[in-house]
Amino acid sequence: MLEVKHLEKSYQKDKPALTDISFSVEPGTFVAIIGPSGAGKTTILRSLNQLIKDDGGQILLDGGDLRTANKTQLRNYRRQIGMVFQNYNLVERLTVIENVLHGRLGYKSTLAGMFGRYTNEEKQEAMTLLQKVGLEDFALQRCSELSGGQKQRVGIARSLIQHPKVILCDEPIASLDPASSQTVMQLLKDLTTEFNIICIANLHQIGLAKDYADRIIGIRQGKMVFNEESDALSEKILETLYDQNVTEELN
């Protein structure tokens, strides 16, 4: 279980980016975080694996606090938390399977990882996961030769091979066309159930958030204004969340 308690962050003095964010998520839940640009969605997500050092609160993964972890402990936490990026953040020059195997680095000795020495089991698993995301035929292709949707699925496979308890997705479909967006969202939803993990995705597409997420968290100016089942998200709440009519987007 992931519990976030009273998370605080300000990049500049007296200009809080996050104030008192608290929520908890059970395994097997797909959570969408929505809110206007600059609300603080990325800041929340990056605090969860401490790519951003926040200013206060607690982040508990199965009871252990990430925020007070030392370097080795943090590495152990990070390998249990996958991350999927808007721009995929793959090593474009390397092959698909090499990029997937990067997800194992957190488990390997520094030297074995530096020179990319993976075990046969790891390679087998990478292939199995590529099959799962529908890219088994692309294993030896360079990532630079893939389409956006395919790259994002490589990114998802990379996070899955970490055997994560949590997957964090920062606008995973913002650079994709509608069809690939549906594929990626469906994939994330299915994987959440199949592996019984927590998936948290920042989204700008409210329609997709309602369709795929179990729960929706609404953020506005660094504050949490909504945290309920997706069905409870009404137009009234959306209006206060975005300040103007976003209802068109829903249809």
Residue with tokens 């009234």: 236
Give one word for 207, left, alpha or beta, with left for phi > 0 and alpha for psi -120 to 50.
alpha
Which of the listed partners (ligand ATP, other proteins, Mg ion, none) does 17 bind, with a CB threshold of 5 to 8 Å by partner kind? ligand ATP
For position 41 contacting ligand ATP by CB under 6 A, the verdict is: yes
Distance from the Cα of residue 251 to its chain's centroid: 25
* Size of interface with ligand ATP, in residues (CB under 6 A): 10
The one segment of 31-39, 121-129, 187-195, 232-240 that binds ligand ATP by CB under 6 A = 31-39
Which of the listed partners (other proteins, Mg ion, ligand ATP, none) does 40 bind, with a CB threshold of 5 to 8 Å by partner kind? ligand ATP
Distance from the Cα of residue 168 to its chain's centroid: 2
Hey, which residues between 225 and 244 contact other proteins (CB under 8 A)? none
Q: Which of 29, 30, 34, 40 binds ligand ATP (CB under 6 A)?
A: 40
Query: Quick check: helix, strand or coil at residue 91?
Result: coil
Which of the listed partners (Mg ion, ligand ATP, other proteins, none) does 92 bind, with a CB threshold of 5 to 8 Å by partner kind? other proteins
Q: In this structure, is the dihedral angle defined by the CA atoms of residues 30, 36, 37 and 41, taken in order, positive or negative?
A: negative
Nearer to other proteins, 191 or 241 (CB): 191
Strand ordering across the sheet containing 15-25: 15-25, 2-12, 56-61, 64-65
Hey, which residues between 81 and 110 contact ligand ATP (CB under 6 A)? none
Q: Closest approach of Cβ 73 to other proteins, in Å?
A: 11
**Amino acid sitting at position 146:** L
Q: Is 229 exposed, middle or buried (0-12, 13-18, 19+ CB in 10 A)?
A: exposed
β-bridge pairing 198-202 and 30-34 = parallel
* Residues 136-175: x where in contact with Mg ion by CB under 5 A, - otherwise, as a string: ----------------------------------------
Which of the listed partners (ligand ATP, Mg ion, other proteins, none) does 106 bind, with a CB threshold of 5 to 8 Å by partner kind? other proteins
Residue nearest to Mg ion (CB): 42
Q: Which of 42, 175, 182, 227 binds Mg ion (CB under 5 A)?
A: 42
To 10 degrees, what angle do helices 178-194 and 148-160 make? Answer: 10
Q: Closest approach of Cβ 158 to other proteins, in Å?
A: 7
Residue with tokens 């003095």: 13
